[in-house]
């Protein structure tokens, strides 16, 4: 059999479940859990992702708005231990995030990192497991605008059919008071002369990806190789000679998270758009 489908490919690849967009949490005793914030709104997010080798470098800019009096929240995100066939067991038992920073309104903040099953914390959430890690910090949101910036890097996932894969959780952004990211911008730089796949949609409508530089996007799902077929509208393919892919959206309400990467084998795109690897 020489046919393969997207859902089969994804089932063979490690996909980290990064709760990367800042979310509000609450804690009672030894229990910590995601909180649906009812006052503070997420107004803007700018997400810059740059791949260098097997590592993705992440820079995030958030603008929040608090219409009421000053409020203190426990903010954080969850990341699983690193998983890659080339890593040792000791490496797999540590967070794959490195050089994580928190800056709130111009001041660097300290944060706590816990392995959930050894910290006393229990998270009532189906996306979180006992060997995951939580990065958490307390911060005050004064009346008006607050700016939070993060930067970190993490190692790519890999699998049988996918050489490099990256995952970023966007849906956490809908848990703030306005249930959306009012002004969203995403920039993905995968390097030069590279083919890679991107989501077709975040919320049941075709994502309006934009090429910034020299490159091309497939219009829809595509045939490859040419006897293999990757089914459905789950992904689009991109070729970038130089530059990056961009997505901007107002009133962004992602129902799906960001999953993108590079296939393990060389792929020649047959249709639509006749995207070809640069020789």
* DSSP secondary structure, 82-99, as one string: P--TTS-HHHHTSBSEEE
Q: Does residue 225 carry a pLDDT above 50?
A: no
Among 71, 49, 51, 70, residue whose Cα is nearest residue 60:
49
- Name the percent of the chain lying above pLDDT 70: 62
Q: How far is CA 7 from CA 10, 11, 13, 206, in A?
A: 5, 6, 10, 19
Q: Across residues 178-197, what is the average pLDDT? A: 94
Alpha carbon of 96 to those of 33, 87, 133, 152: distances in Å?
22, 11, 10, 10
Q: Find the mean pLDDT for residues 51-73.
A: 94
Sequence-separated (6 or more) residues with CB below 8 Å from residue 89: none
Residue of higher predicted confidence among 126 and 156: 156
Q: 138, 53, 149: which is closest to 105 by C-alpha? A: 149
18-22, 103-107, 266-270: least confidently modelled range: 266-270
165-175 pLDDT per residue, tens:
887 878 778 88
Does 126 have pLDDT greater than 50? no
- Range with lowest mean pLDDT among 62-71, 99-108, 250-259, 263-272: 263-272
Supply the pTM of this predicted model. 0.78
Beta bridge partners of 152: 58
Q: Kindly state the average pLDDT of the residues 207-236.
A: 68
| Assigned fold of 6-271 | Immunoglobulin-like (2.60.40)
pLDDT for the residue 10: 30
**Mean of the pLDDT values across residues 77-91?**
55
pLDDT at residue 226 is higher than 80:
no
Tell me the sheet residues that pair with 211.
Answer: 245
**Predicted pLDDT at 23:** 62
More confidently predicted of 107 and 167? 107
Report the C-alpha gap between 168 and 186 in whole angstroms: 11
């Amino acid at each position: 059999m020489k046919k393969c489908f997207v859902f089969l490919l994804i089932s063979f690849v490690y996909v980290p479940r990064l709760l990367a967009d800042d979310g509000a949490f609450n804690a009672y005793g030894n229990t910590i859990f995601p909180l649906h914030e009812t006052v503070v709104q997420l107004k803007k997010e700018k997400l810059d992702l740059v791949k260098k080798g097997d590592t993705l470098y992440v820079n995030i800019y958030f603008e929040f708005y608090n219409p009421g009096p000053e409020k203190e929240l426990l903010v954080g995100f969850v990341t699983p231990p690193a998983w890659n066939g080339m890593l040792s067991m000791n490496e797999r038992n540590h967070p794959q995030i490195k050089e994580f920073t928190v800056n709130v309104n111009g001041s660097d903040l300290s944060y706590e990192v816990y392995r959930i099953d050894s910290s006393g914390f229990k998270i009532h959430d189906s996306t979180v497991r006992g060997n995951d890690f939580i990065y958490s910090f307390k911060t005050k949101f004064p009346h008006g605008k607050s700016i939070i910036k993060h930067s970190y890097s993490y190692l790519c996932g890999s699998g049988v059919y996918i050489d490099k894969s990256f995952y970023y959780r966007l849906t956490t952004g809908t848990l703030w008071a306005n249930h959306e990211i009012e002004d969203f911008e995403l920039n993905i730089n995968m390097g030069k002369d590279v083919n890679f796949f991107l989501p077709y949609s975040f919320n049941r409508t075709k994502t309006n990806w934009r090429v910034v530089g020299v490159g091309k996007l497939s219009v829809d799902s595509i045939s490859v190789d040419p006897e293999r077929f990757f089914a459905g509208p789950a992904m689009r393919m991109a070729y970038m000679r130089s530059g990056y892919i961009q997505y901007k959206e107002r009133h962004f309400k992602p129902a799906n998270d960001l999953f993108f990467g590079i296939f393990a084998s060389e792929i020649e795109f047959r249709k639509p758009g006749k995207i070809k690897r640069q020789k």
